Structures are given as structure tokens and as C-alpha cells.
Chain A
């Protein structure tokens, strides 16, 4: 994954503004994220954290401003941006009527994946005990479903991870595991943007903070 230290890879956010029902949620928001950096977005409920992440993913249209990936407006070249992006949102995006294996096989078919990735190995790594892989996800707990959603990060070869409250429903061991995933991703030159209400222990990683809302 040495390629991830490449200097071209950069996310630029230029003067974003979001208004909802004539109310300005945030305005004139600019920042740059370089390879190896982690951005932690903070703010009270309703400050626009999730909306910001959805704008960065291209799901929501900002009222003003642009998001650039490697210097290009990401709306002009969605396919390339999305090959580099992995988003774990508020909804886990895990199909309840499929097994964990089938869910991750779908992730594997849809995106750009790491070479030699083995789904059973990934399931083991994210702490889904052996024997659960053939059960329907509807029988798993909320925490286990969250783990399957986060397993997407290990299957795809995305440089940019955008995570909305990744620690929700996870136990202490699960939170520790996610922190380690974030740290090793950043060390390998990846980028992470996350929102959380928990205190996050990220060692000596290059962590930037962004505070939304007055």
C-alpha cells in the first residue's frame, strides 16, 4: 500500500455551504485533507455532521462550494472518486436477508477490492465468531451488523474512508479494533473522515479536528 503516500492524493473542500429550509447549517467551510491524515468532525446534534459527510460522498448537493479529489471536482469524475471511497453511514447498508458472507461478496463485486482479500478471513478479523457466517444477518445483534458494515473497509481498496459514528453499538473490544483499523489505514497513507461522540484514542496519528456549529 506504499502507493497511498503518493503526493497527488488529496481531498480539498472549498467554501461549502448548506442551507435547509432557509436555515444556514454551515457556511464557508474549507479544509484540505492530505494522505495519512485523520479528520474528526465534532458538533452538537443537528450541527450538520452527517450532512457534511453526505456532501463529501456526493449524496447530498451542497448549496455552495465544491469538493475536489486529486484536484478535480468529484462530480465530474464520480467513477474514479467512488473507486477510492468507502462510506459507512448511519444505516449499516447490510441486507438482513443475506448472510454476512453474501453481504461482503456483494461489496467485493461492486467496488475496487484489495488484491488477495479473503472474505472469511476478514469476518474473522472483525470479530465475527466462526459459525456466524452462514446465519442471516437479521439474526445478528446491532453490534455484529455494525461490524459487518465496517468490514467493507477491509474488503475494498479505498484510500478515503468516510465514517458516520463508526463506534455506535460496538463494545469496548470493537471500539479498540476500529481505532486500530483507523491507525493502520492512516499509517499506510490512507485518509479518514469520521464523526463521533466518543473519545477516540488514535496514538501518534496526524489527527485534525473540525468543529461544526457555533
Chain B
């Protein structure tokens, strides 16, 4: 068979994985930019949920400081989940996803590019907004610093785990997909919530946080390595 491939090289330009990865990332960012209004959705949700707590509870600074880590992380988690469906939905609906599956590149790396785009669009803005809302709840400077670190480690995990859930549910006819997605993804989000909120709480109390950060870091490494593979396999099943 060698002769076939050799000849092909002289008459065609072979696909390059780096170029495909960057093109995929750039395409998703362009599409997001053309739907700017949708981008604001999770951010508005995040802001509203966090700012409702002082109104519903007692605006006592001591109380707010105590609940702040949990409130911010729960709101971030729900906001991230709201935005998950957009990773594959429009590509599935217009047939582009079929074309992505039929490209000669490893599907998992193209999925990783799409997930990275999703994090840049939703996770990163949440991360940047978090300290502002933390200040609103009277968090100390120390705790805000740790909140940023847990956000940087934790929000990519939310996008990566979410990509598996969306890949599994994207093929379902409208209606059941959203509920199923929450049921699939939320249990996997809980370790992130526990360790991240705990680290921020500890930092506010002046305790050690390296243990929690190490666990978040290893969860991130694990999900970067495995989530794209699982999501790619799930997509092949969904399009079957």
C-alpha cells in the first residue's frame, strides 16, 4: 500500500493536526463572538444568584463572609452547567459534527479544542467575575486569592466533564436531554465543589490549603487527559 500514500503526498497537502486544532478553536471563538448576547447568559445568572443571597438572608458581614465560598462556587457550577449544551448543539443540528467526525484527525483532540473554546468563553469570564462578587460578600484578600486559584483549576474541569455529558446527550430528541445532562454531570462536579469551597473557606480562616489545591490540580490533569477521549467515544455513539 505504500505506493498509494507516497503518490498522495506529491499531489495533495497532508492534513496538519496543529492547524486543525487552531482552526477549530478559532472557529468556535468566532461563532461565540457572533452570538455575543448568549455569552452574557451564564455571567448574568452567576451575578444574580450571588447578589440575591444578601437580600434573602441577613446582610450581616460575618454571615456573608462565612457563606461566600460555598455560594460563589455553587453559583459558578450552575452557571457553567447552563452553558454546556452549546458545546456541540449547533454543530449537531446543522451537520457540521458529522464532518468533524469524518476528519482524518484524532477526534479527541478536536473535542479538546472545542472544550478549550468553551472554557475561554464561559469559564474564564466566570473566573474573572468571581473576585468582584467575593468583594461584595466581604471576603478577605487572602480568601479572594485562593478563590482565583481554585477557579483557575476548577472551571476547566467543569467544561471538560461537561463535554462528556453533552456528547452523550446531544443526540437525544429535545426535552429529555437537559434533565439527563444535569443528572449525569452534577455528581461528577461535586468533588470540585467540595475541595474548592473548602480551600477558600480554609484560606479565610487562615488555615493551610495546599492539600485541596493539589487534589484540584490532579483532578484537572486527570480530566484533561481522559475527558476528551470519553467525549469523542460518546460522540461516535450519539451520531450512530
Binding site for B on A (CB under 8 A): 1, 3, 6, 8-9, 57-61, 70-71, 78-80, 82-83, 85, 87, 89-98, 102, 105-107, 109-115, 136, 152, 157
Contact = CB atoms under 8 A, between A and B. Distances in A.
Interface in B52-100: 90, 93-96, 98-100
A41 B230 CA distance: 35
B95 A91 contact: yes
Contacts of B12: 112-115, 157
Interface of B: 1, 3-5, 7-8, 10-15, 19-20, 22-24, 27, 30-31, 34-35, 90, 93-96, 98-106, 239-240
Contacts of A152: 99
A157 to B, nearest CB: 4
A contacts with B: majority SS: loop
Contacts of A78: 104
A95 B35 contact: no
B87 to A, nearest CB: 15
A80 B103 CA distance: 10
27 contacts: A1-B11, A3-B8, A3-B11, A8-B4, A9-B4, A57-B102, A60-B239, A70-B4, A79-B104, A79-B106, A80-B104, A82-B102, A82-B103, A85-B102, A87-B102, A92-B95, A97-B34, A98-B27, A98-B30, A106-B27, A109-B19, A110-B99, A114-B11, A115-B11, A115-B12, A157-B8, A157-B11
A113 B96 contact: no
Contact of A89 (B7, B90, B95, B104): B95
Contact of A6 (B3, B34, B100, B105): B3
Contact of B98 (A59, A70, A102): A59
Given A57-B98, A97-B35, 17 more contacts: A57-B102, A58-B102, A59-B102, A59-B239, A60-B239, A82-B102, A90-B95, A92-B94, A93-B98, A95-B90, A106-B23, A109-B19, A110-B20, A110-B99, A113-B15, A114-B11, A152-B99
Q: Which of A85, A93, A113 has the most CB of B within 10 A?
A: A93
Contacts of A113: 12-13, 15
Contacts of A60: 239-240
Contacts of B99: 87, 93, 107, 110, 152
Nearest to B8: A3
Contacts of B35: 97
Contacts of A87: 98-99, 102
A110 B31 CA distance: 17
B4 A3 contact: yes
Nearest to B99: A93
A70 B13 contact: no
Contacts of A110: 15, 20, 23-24, 99-100, 103, 105
Contacts of B95: 89-94
Q: Which of A71, A91, A97, A109 has the most CB of B within 10 A?
A: A109
Contacts of B30: 98, 102
B135 to A, nearest CB: 36
A93 B94 contact: yes
A98 B23 CA distance: 13
B104 A112 contact: yes
A58 B12 CA distance: 23
Contacts of B19: 109
Nearest to A138: B34
Given A59-B239, A92-B95, A98 B31 contact: yes
A93 B91 CA distance: 8
Given A6-B4, A60-B240, A70-B4, A111 B104 contact: yes
A89 B96 contact: no
Contacts of A92: 94-95
Contacts of A90: 95
A213 B214 CA distance: 60
B34 to A, nearest CB: 5
